[in-house]
Amino acid sequence: MEPSLARCGWRATARVRSAPVSNVPNPGAASGPAPSPPSGPGPLTPPADAAAPVRHPDAPAPGEPLGPHYEHCFGCGEAQPHGLRLRARAGEGVSITAEFTVGPDHQGAPGLAHGGVLATALDETLGSLNWLLRVVAVTGRLQTEFVRPVPVGTVLHLDARVTAVHRRKIYCTATGRLGGPEGPVAVRADALFVEVKVDHFIDNGRQEEIRAAMADPDQFRRVRAFEVNP
Ligand SMILES: CCCCCCCC/C=C\CCCCCCCC(=O)SCCNC(=O)CCNC(=O)[C@H](O)C(C)(C)COP(=O)(O)OP(=O)(O)OC[C@H]1O[C@@H](n2cnc3c(N)ncnc32)[C@H](O)[C@@H]1OP(=O)(O)O
């Protein structure tokens, strides 16, 4: 241990307190064997009749930057001072690459990215995939795996792809690597997005921001085009 940390009273031997499992009361014990864990495919496994994703003919070309989908978005917006300012590019097929530089505003522990911020980076990258399908969709489910700590200053290189589509459900997966596209894997996610109409935002968003977004002709046209010109 660093001498300076030892001076602060930190002990490398700290352990979570725990009781032996046999001492934990089990109210179900008297009524027979414990229920078996759920089996079968989970909600992030596409059903057998799911289809392969199809890249929309008007999707941005591979390598083309996607640009923010909303300027105040915490994930990608330019007008969001503490946001992630994640930059995404179209990939081949229905895939995306993205970069996010972890800054001091993104810390959880000293010098390390907050797990929720990393989940946001994964969510934002996965959400960008819908631009290649040309549908508007929101996250229904996001399962994250944190494999390595991510220091402040790291450029996290993300890649994501859609694996299957079933009715309004879009199944996708993403990986984030440290320092470069071939760097060690730090985070992973599997997700289910659900296609929605633009009315989802109009009906549920705070009126102040909705009015401002509707007054922005670029914003409105871009999103509506997904609905009326599938
Ligand atoms: C002028 C206005 C301008 C607007 C500008 C807009 C620009 C922005 C454009 C694009 C935005 C993209 C934003 C990107 C940001 C990154 C992504 C996010 O963080 S999004 C935020 C977090 N997510 C939510 O807030 C969702 C909250 N949840 C909901 O609203 C609903 O629960 C919703 C829409 C997800 C589903 O509700 P239902 O009533 O529409 O759909 P049902 O009929 O229940 O489900 C349809 C199918 O999906 C399955 N499903 C739904 N939710 C599921 C879940 N959580 N897990 C598993 N399956 C689920 C169901 O089982 C059903 O499947 P079966 O077709 O029957 O097989």
**Mutation test of ligand 1: which of 45, 86, 138, 158 has the most ligand atoms closer than 8 Å to its C-beta?**
138
**Ligand 1 centroid, distance to 49 Cα (angstroms):** 21
- CA within 13 Å, CB half, 82: 5
CA max distance for the chain: 65
Burial degree of 1 (CB within 10 A; 0-12, 13-18, 19+): exposed
ipTM: 0.98
Q: Using a 6 Å cutoff on CB, does residue 106 contact ligand 1?
A: no
Three-state secondary-structure class, residue 103: coil
**Is residue 219 pLDDT above 70, yes or no?**
yes
22-76 pLDDT, tens per residue? 554 554 444 556 677 667 789 999 999 999 999 999 999 999 999 899 999 999 9
State the residue for tokens 């300076």.
4
Residue 23: CB atoms within 10 A of its CB come to: 7
pLDDT value, residue 136: 95
pLDDT value, residue 13: 56
92-147 pLDDT, tens per residue? 999 999 999 999 999 999 999 999 999 999 999 999 999 999 999 999 999 999 99
State pTM to two decimals.
0.90
- DSSP state, residue 64: -
Mean pLDDT of 182-194: 98
In the chain, what are the domains? Answer: 87-196 (3.10.129.10)
Q: How confident is the model at residue 80 (pLDDT cuts 50, 70, 90)?
A: very high
State the residue for tokens 């930059």.
87
Q: Using a 6 Å cutoff on CB, does residue 70 contact ligand 1?
A: yes
What span, in angstroms and rounded, lies between the C-alpha atoms of 189 and 187? Answer: 7
**Ligand 1 centroid, distance to 195 Cα (angstroms):** 6
Q: Using a 6 Å cutoff on CB, does residue 139 contact ligand 1?
A: yes
- Helical H runs in 95-216? 115-128, 130-133, 199-204, 207-215
Query: 68: which 2 tokens?
Result: 């923010």
pLDDT value, residue 29: 47
